[in-house]
């Protein structure tokens, strides 16, 4: 088939010119590699941060303490009122006795102290979970106003701070990645420009003897594509092995509690696909730009 | 229908130079036509309009009934496949052998290498270079290089062969050989040839149709014409 012969020729030509302009090809490949390593880091960070904030959000609770000396029916009344609030997921009652037991288990000093006291100095409480973390603060405020409520706290500030820091990191990586993608496309475009220049006699003859435009352009597009693919190899190997090893070393968990990473499979495969896709697309965008600009046909 | 029809054609370049003015001209199949005139009179411009490197500013250029100027950029290649073009500077690829240079034209249009071989050998035979297939352009004389170009131009059996000063870089003896090759192609293959030149000796000896341009205007059109050497040439 004619089409296959033209494509075959294009692939052969594009391989040739990758080697002919070796240093510039290397520069493009290295730039693609650096960009994609950063893209990979960005993806791994973002996905994990999202995963972690989500699990953290699920763990977020409002602890409501009833005022000292509140009677049992008042406590029941309070529970009913809290449950009526919109957006509440779960309300669990935790009596002062339960608190006392838990604390005694927690440390020996506390056990001795609590036993020494005749009265239980602790307060009855509710552990309240909400559907949406955004509602955490307004719901806590609302509960605070109820009769018989001593306090309603949810670790204000800390959560927002963590999410805020993560957002800054995310935005910064995005900016860097976009900038690098542009630089890469530009470098690849320049590489292709050089190829076009070094082959201008050949191109002139091709046009004179009646090569179709697409068969003149195709080798350059393929060359850009190749540069992108080659540039994505190292980042893929790094991310796949890097992530699997890191995940195994950390056992999927960092020692402090709820933080848990995304499992390598199939996440790492999708990431690899994204890297190849970005590499090849950036390569082709770079080469089409060069073809459009320097191959006026 | 005439093979080439040029109707009231003008070419004005972007810088305002009028290279061709109100040119009307017909060429039949199988003709051998010289386009002559002083340097800068518009010969190359006329040639370029034939292979659609330039579009006429006004008027029409028809080849085989197709208005060449109206072709879209991406369909120009279809026209080029039916033409052979030869230039003063040979435009050979230095890293390819004689055979490969000629085969290149057929590879470019996607022909099978099985079909390419006999065509290339036949074309090289026409120009008398069958024993130099493995040589590189740098190993050939100017005349031989030009013959490779002619072989490349006729390898796809075009109906029309366009030559822009093909002997411009060659000495008189070699030029004569090239003209013999072109004449044979015209006679044996029936290929129509339009050749721009300012070599009066060649024109006078060949006794073909001669079209004289002066500042873009057609001033003479002789069958079996000759060409007086004027000072400007
Ligand atoms: N691409 C161009 N842009 C502007 N002017 C041109 C261009 N090509 C040719 N000319 C002008 O058009 C005129 C005819 O040129 P050309 O056709 O090359 O003549 P010839 O081949 O007979 O020497 C000349 O005056 C030349 O300077
Ligand atoms: Mg000229």
- Residues facing B164 on adjacent strands: B196
* ipTM attached to this prediction: 0.90
Backbone angles phi, psi at A95, to 5 degrees: -75, 165
The secondary structure element, H or E, covering residue B214 is strand B209-214
Ligand 1 pocket test, pick from B40, B164, B232 with the greatest ligand atom count within 8 Å of Cβ, gives B40
Look at B74 and A207 and tell me if their CB atoms are within 8 Å: no
User: For A199, which residue in chain B has the nearest alpha carbon?
Assistant: B93
A6, A201, A202: residue with CB nearest B110: A6
Q: Does residue A110 surpass a pLDDT of 80?
A: no
Q: Tell me: the pLDDT tens digits for B35-45?
A: 999 999 999 99
Split at pLDDT 50, 70, 90, the class of B49 is very high
Closest-CA distance of chain A to residue B20, Å: 22
Q: How far apart are CA A137 and CA A146, in angstroms?
A: 15
Nearest residue of A to residue B149, measured between CA atoms? A205
Residue to mutate among B75, B77, B102, with most A CBs inside 10 A, is: B77
Q: Is B152 on the interface with A (CB under 8 A)?
A: yes
Residue with tokens 């220049």: A197
Question: B43: closest CA among B57, B62, B23, B28?
Answer: B23
| Domain ranges across chain A | 2-56+161-294, 61-153
Q: Give the per-residue pLDDT at A232.
A: 92
Q: How do residues B105-120 score in pLDDT, each as one tens digit?
A: 999 998 988 999 999 9
If you take atom 23 of ligand 1, which residue's CA is the nearest one? B40
pLDDT for B77 beyond 70:
yes
Tell me which residue in B77, B82, B112 faces A211 most closely, judged by beta carbons.
B77
Q: What's the mean pLDDT in A4-25?
A: 77
Res. B8: pLDDT tops 90 = yes
Cβ neighbours, 10 Å, residue A11: 16
| Contact: A2, B110; criterion CB under 8 Å | yes
pLDDT tens digits, one per residue of A16-37: 777 777 777 788 888 888 888 8
- Contact assignment for A6 to B105 by CB distance below 8 Å: no
Q: Kindly state whether residue B167 falls inside one of the protein's structural domains.
A: no
Digit-coded pLDDT (tens) for A57-90: 667 788 888 888 777 788 888 888 888 888 888 8
Task: Write out residues 103-132 of B within 8 Å (CB-CB) of A.
Answer: 104-105, 107-112
Q: Which residues of B are less than 8 Å from A218 in CB distance?
A: none
Query: For all residues of chain B together, what is the average pLDDT?
Result: 92
Separation of alpha carbons A140 and A64, rounded Å: 8
State the first-to-last Cα distance of chain A, in angstroms, to the nearest integer: 25
Nearest CA in chain B to A205: B91
Which residue does chain A place closest to B81, by CA atoms? A210
pLDDT at res. B11: 96
Contacts of A12 in chain B (CB under 8 A): none
Q: Is residue B133 part of a domain?
A: yes
Strands (E), A88-148: 88-94, 125-130
- Classified as helix, coil or strand, B83 is strand
Ligand 1 mutation pick, B9, B10, B13, B38, max ligand atoms within 8 A of CB: B13
Look at ligand 1, atom 26, and give the residue with the nearest C-alpha.
Answer: B40
Q: What does the alpha-carbon distance between residue B67 and residue B71 come to, in Å, rounded to a whole number? A: 7
B232 pLDDT exceeds 50? no
DSSP B95-118: TS-HHHHHHHHHHHTT--HHHHHH
Which of A208, A210, A297 lies closest to B73 in CB terms?
A: A297
Query: What is the predicted pLDDT for the residue at B233?
Result: 43
**pLDDT value, residue A159:** 64
3-state secondary structure of B24: strand
What is the whole-number distance in angstroms between the Cα of residue B198 and the centre of ligand 2? 9
What confidence tens digit (pLDDT) does each residue in A112-171 have? Answer: 887 787 777 788 888 888 887 777 778 888 888 888 888 888 766 666 677 677 778 778
B188 part of a folded domain: no
Residue B43 Cα to ligand 2 midpoint, Å, equals 6
Would B61 be classed as within a structural domain?
Answer: no
Count: domains in chain B? 1
Minimum CA–CA partner of A6 in chain B? B110
The distance of A208 to chain B (nearest Cα, Å) reads 6
Residue among B110, B156, B159 with most chain A CBs within 10 A, to mutate: B110
- Residue B156 at interface with chain A, using a CB cutoff of 8 Å: yes
List the residue whose alpha carbon is closest to atom 2 of ligand 1. B13
Distance, CA of B110 to CA of B166 (rounded, Å): 27
Residue B224 contacts A where some CB pair is shorter than 8 Å:
no
Note whether B108 contacts A209, CB cutoff 8 Å.
yes
Q: Is residue B104 part of a domain?
A: yes
Ligand 2 centre from B59 Cα, in Å? 21
**Tens of pLDDT, residues A243-289:** 888 888 776 555 455 567 788 888 899 999 999 998 999 888 888 88
Is the model more confident about B88 or about A196? B88
Asked if residue B95 belongs to a domain, the reply is: yes
Query: What confidence tens digit (pLDDT) does each residue in A188-237 have?
Result: 888 888 878 878 888 899 999 999 888 888 888 888 898 889 999 999 99
Instruction: Indicate the fold that domain A61-153 takes in CATH.
Output: Alpha-Beta Plaits (3.30.70)
pLDDT of residue B103: 95
CA dihedral A255, A257, A261, A263 (to 10 degrees): 90
CA-CA distance, B3 to B5, in Å (whole number)?
Answer: 7
**Is the Cβ pair A206, B108 closer than 8 Å?**
yes
CB–CB contact A212 B91 (8 Å): no
Q: Count the neighbouring beta carbons within 10 Å of the beta carbon of residue B46.
A: 29
């Amino acid at each position: 088939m004619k089409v296959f012969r033209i494509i075959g020729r294009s692939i052969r030509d594009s391989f040739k010119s990758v080697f002919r302009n070796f240093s510039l090809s290397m520069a493009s490949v290295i730039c693609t590699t650096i960009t994609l390593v950063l893209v990979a880091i960005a993806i791994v960070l973002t996905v994990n941060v999202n995963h972690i904030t989500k699990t953290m959000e699920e763990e977020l609770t409002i602890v409501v303490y009833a005022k000292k000396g509140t009677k049992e029916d008042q406590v029941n009344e309070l529970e009913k009122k809290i449950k009526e609030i919109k957006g509440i997921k779960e309300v669990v009652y935790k009596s002062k006795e339960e608190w006392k037991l838990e604390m005694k288990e927690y440390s020996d000093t506390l056990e001795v102290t609590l036993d020494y006291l005749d009265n239980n100095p602790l307060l009855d409480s509710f552990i309240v979970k909400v559907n949406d973390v955004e509602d955490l603060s307004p719901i806590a405020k609302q509960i605070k106003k109820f009769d018989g409520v001593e306090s309603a706290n949810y670790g204000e500030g800390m959560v927002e701070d963590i999410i805020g820091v993560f957002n800054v990191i995310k935005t910064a990586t995005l900016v860097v990645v976009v900038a690098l993608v542009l630089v890469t496309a530009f470098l690849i475009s320049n590489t292709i420009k050089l190829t076009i220049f070094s082959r201008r006699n050949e191109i002139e003859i091709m046009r004179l003897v009646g090569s179709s435009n697409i068969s003149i352009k195709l080798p350059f597009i393929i060359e850009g594509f190749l540069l992108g693919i080659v540039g994505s190899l190292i980042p893929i190997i790094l991310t796949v092995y890097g992530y699997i090893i890191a995940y195994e070393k950390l056992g999927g968990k960092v020692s402090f509690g709820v933080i848990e990473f995304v499992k390598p499979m199939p996440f790492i495969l999708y990431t690899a696909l994204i890297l190849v896709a970005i590499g090849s697309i950036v390569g082709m965008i770079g080469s089409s730009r060069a073809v459009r600009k320097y191959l006026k046909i | 229908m005439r093979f080439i029809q040029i109707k009231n054609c003008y070419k004005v370049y972007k810088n305002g130079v009028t290279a061709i003015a109100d040119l009307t001209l017909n060429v039949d199949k199988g003709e051998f036509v010289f386009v002559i005139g002083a340097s800068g009179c518009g010969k190359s411009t006329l040639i370029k309009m034939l292979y659609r490197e330039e579009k006429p500013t006004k008027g029409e250029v028809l080849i085989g009934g197709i208005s060449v100027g109206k072709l879209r950029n991406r369909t120009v290649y279809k026209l080029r496949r039916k033409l052979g073009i030869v230039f003063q500077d040979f435009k050979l690829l230095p890293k390819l052998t004689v055979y490969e240079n000629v085969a290149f034209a057929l590879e470019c249009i996607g022909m099978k290498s099985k079909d390419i071989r006999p065509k290339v050998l036949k074309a090289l035979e026409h120009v008398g270079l069958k024993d130099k297939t493995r040589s590189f352009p740098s190993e050939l004389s100017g005349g031989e290089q030009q013959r490779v170009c002619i072989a490349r131009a006729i390898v796809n059996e075009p109906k029309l062969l366009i030559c822009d000063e093909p002997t411009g870089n060659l000495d008189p003896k070699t030029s004569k050989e090239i003209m013999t090759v072109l004449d044979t192609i015209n006679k044996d293959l029936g290929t129509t040839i339009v050749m721009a030149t300012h070599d009066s000796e060649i024109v006078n000896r060949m006794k073909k149709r001669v079209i004289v341009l002066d500042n873009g205007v057609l001033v003479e059109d002789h069958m079996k014409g000759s060409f007086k050497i004027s000072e400007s040439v």
